[in-house]
Amino acid sequence: MDSPIKSMPDDQVKRGFAMRKRRQIIAAAATMMLILFIALISKRPDIFGTFARNDILAAQVLLIVIFVWFSIFNWRCPVCKKSVGPDFEKRICKHCGARLQ
């Protein structure tokens, strides 16, 4: 039986991983910007009105939970669909051996 890495060309795997990496960077940047924006709203009630501290905290926690959920499903090997792990510059999947970069 062929391994999953044989069924997907190297360039397709690398493009798939690069796309996932770009999405991860965009999601991290957007999450940070939104968290900072929410913090700004809490410090400047003259802009949008006042919000309860619990609402601000809940919004920030919700953003973090959404980011973590997205990361769990996005940050995977394009071949075996298993987690790549915390290493952002991963070159080879530790599960299937696919060349990611």
Q: Which two tokens stand for residue 49?
A: 């009105």
| pTM for the predicted model, two decimal places | 0.76
Query: In which element (H, E) is residue 41 found?
Result: helix 10-43
| Rounded Cα distance, 11 and 8, in Å | 9
Q: State the average pLDDT over residues 42-59.
A: 75
Strand, helix or coil for residue 17: helix
What pLDDT digit, counting tens, does each position of 3-28 carry? Answer: 444 567 888 888 989 999 999 999 99
Q: Is the dihedral of CA 56, 59, 65, 68 positive or negative?
A: negative
The most confident of the ranges 44-48, 62-66, 80-84, 89-93 is 62-66
28-37, 50-59, 92-101: which has the minimum mean pLDDT? 50-59
Q: Which two tokens stand for residue 70?
A: 């997205």
